[in-house]
Structure 1
Amino acid sequence: MGMSIDNVRGLVMAVSSSIFIGSSFIIKKKGLKKAGATGTRAGQGGHSYLYEPWWWAGMITMIVGEIANFAAYAYAPAVLVTPLGALSIIFSAVLAHFILEERLHIFGVLGCALCVVGSTTIVLHAPQERNIESVKEVWQLATEPGFLAYTLLILILVAVLIFRYVPRYGQTHLIVYVGICSLMGSLTVMGVKAVGIALKLSFSGMNQFKYYETWVFTFVVTFCCLLQVNYLNKALDTFNTAVISPVYYVMFTTFTIIASMIMFKEWDSQAAADIATELCGFVTILAGTFLLHKTKDMGKSPSVRSPVFTSPDLNPTPDSK
């Protein structure tokens, strides 16, 4: 089964989005480091980064990427769009090596390659976009008991993380900040898809902004995005960018695919072989991100002599022991 025109459009926009978002991680991290040198760090509750031009440049880059991502969800199913975020891992990891001096080892490249292979597998077997003619149809899907239960569970988990675990483990356990961003991100994507569909239909002559449901989805997107930006800033300022990107990607993709399956029931129209192949592709992505995480510090050890990118002043010499 070939890809539809809408799926191709979504694919192109998703790839463009990954390039911009992957770059924005590095630009924002550079701004956060500069701001932290002169004021209270974001990881400690400071907001001095708001006065840093580099941080704003990163935000603008991320906004451009998110707009492209926003458009991608309007044309293609989340199962196709979300896995392509693996490309942002590659861009952020490589740029982090050159700009932030967070070294990328040979196994890091292998991890990135696995992410790309897994994403490609999912893209080739992704379901076609569901034909929706009104935002009211999306509202009906969002208010079904299954998705309402999922939403309630996500909100409870996020509240527990924010009020119980952030004060205790936020500075030492990456999973706390990233977990908040990922959980809320799955709701953000569902809202983005709804608003994107409303915009697409409105541009085609069927105004969807006359319905209150469109504005509810817009409010959900705004609230979730603000919460995500806040805790993503804390994560970037506290932990290694090359680790944040893959871990965030895995968690965000997992919860988004689960939310999409519950709300849009995208697997209902697919054969078992296609679903199995998509799951294999996702496992490949998990393997790649796990490899990136486990080998993140290999380039820092003097005993390791095979980094992908080397600098003469960083290579150990035979006499240095």
Structure 2
Amino acid sequence: MDFSRADGGSYTDNLIGTLLAIFGNLLVSISLTIQKYSHVTLAGTKDSRAFYCTKTWWCGFVLTCLGEGANFVSYAFAPLALVAPLNAVSVLSSSILGLIFIREKSKPKDFAKRFGLSVLGVILTIGGTYLFVAFGPNSHEKLKAENIVKHIVGWPVLLYLLLEIITFCLLLYFYKQHRANYLVVILMLVALLGSVTVITVKAVSGMLVLTFEGTMQLDYPIFSVMFVCMVASVIFQARFLSHACKLYDSCLIASVNYILSTILAVVAGES
């Protein structure tokens, strides 16, 4: 059976990218639940240790790294517009895991209702995922080092990065100086960093794939720049998400983070 299209894309590549994205987002949702459990456990005991001194928190951190690694590889196989919306998997699984294992703000009479809605969301997500794979964007540009440089110095990307840096600095000022620990503020910082991660991940994964195919891309300076920016953005995202997990429910975090991250990721990818 031929899965190729005239535009050079491949249903098989889409399927691989989709499965990797689903697996990665499942791991991320599990990690959020574990880290939330770590914070809840410490808050309910007289243990004076910091959260990063517990085994459960580090277990969640490792799962976050593995999940983001799977998401990283998925960008090499499927278009950004296909991978980014699959963060919905993390929203639904976080909601279900939070209800089952942590019972976050859930009265017994509301548990069945919320669980039923979560199951309905899973069914709709599975249907939507199938439609994405079958009818979604199927081709994406193979990013060579020269093409990446051309994209970055283009005015759409420069304008987007300028606006993002200004917004990030303003939010960080209020977050640090005025103790603005609001969920939207924290997750907006995460989403802004996430949009940088999306750009850099797409670039790094694309250059790695071309290198494995025989076209060396790792000796270009742009690869090192993209790799450093990718690692830095992921580390700071993990830090902000950990703080959010300490203050808010993981299912709420996943829901708001999905909305903000998906919007900014798609905008960043299209710019």
- Cα 1:11–1:115 change in 2 (3 A) is closer
Partner of 1:62: 64
2:79 to 74, 77, 80: 77
| One-letter identity of the residue aligned with 2:158 | L
Distance 1:191 1:137 in 2: 13
Q: Please list, as runs of the form range in 1=range in 2, the aligned pairs for 1:173-192 lying within 5 A after superposition.
A: 173-192=182-201
Q: Displacement, 1:64?
A: 1.1
| One-letter identity of the residue aligned with 1:21 | V
SS at match of 1:131: coil
TM-score, scaled relative to structure 2:
0.86
Identity %: 27
| One-letter identity of the residue aligned with 1:10 | G
Partner of 2:156: 146
Partner of 1:43: none
| One-letter identity of the residue aligned with 2:161 | T
1:51 to 47, 50, 53: 53
Number of matched residues? 254
Distance 1:120 1:170 in 2: 40
Higher mean C-alpha displacement, 110-119 vs 48-57: 110-119
Q: Displacement, 1:139?
A: 2.3
Contact 2:14 2:133 in 1 (8 A): no
Contact 1:6 1:129 in 2 (8 A): no
Q: Please list, as runs of the form range in 1=range in 2, the aligned pairs for 1:156-235 lying within 5 A after superposition.
A: 156-168=166-178, 170-171=180-181, 173-235=182-244
Per-residue deviation, residues 36-91 of structure 1 (Å, max 9, x unmatched): 45337xxxxxxx22211001111111111111100000111111111111111121
Higher Cα Rg, which structure:
1
Q: Which runs of 5+ in 2 are unaligned?
A: none
**Residue 6 in structure 1 maps to residue 20 in structure 2:** no
2:250 to 198, 218, 241: 241
Q: Please list, as runs of the form range in 1=range in 2, the aligned pairs for 1:272-283 lying within 5 A after superposition.
A: none
CA RMSD in angstroms, aligned pairs only: 2.1
- Cα 1:120–1:163 change in 2 (3 A) is farther
Distance 1:248 1:114 in 2: 19
TM-score, scaled relative to structure 1:
0.73
Distance 2:33 2:221 in 1: 38
| One-letter identity of the residue aligned with 2:173 | F
Partner of 2:28: 21
Per-residue deviation, residues 221-248 of structure 1 (Å, max 9, x unmatched): 1121122111111111101111111110
| One-letter identity of the residue aligned with 2:255 | P
Q: Displacement, 1:170?
A: 3.1
Higher mean C-alpha displacement, 26-35 vs 155-164: 26-35
| One-letter identity of the residue aligned with 2:191 | S
Q: Displacement, 1:19?
A: 1.6
- Cα 1:165–1:119 change in 2 (3 A) is farther
- Cα 1:116–1:170 change in 2 (3 A) is farther
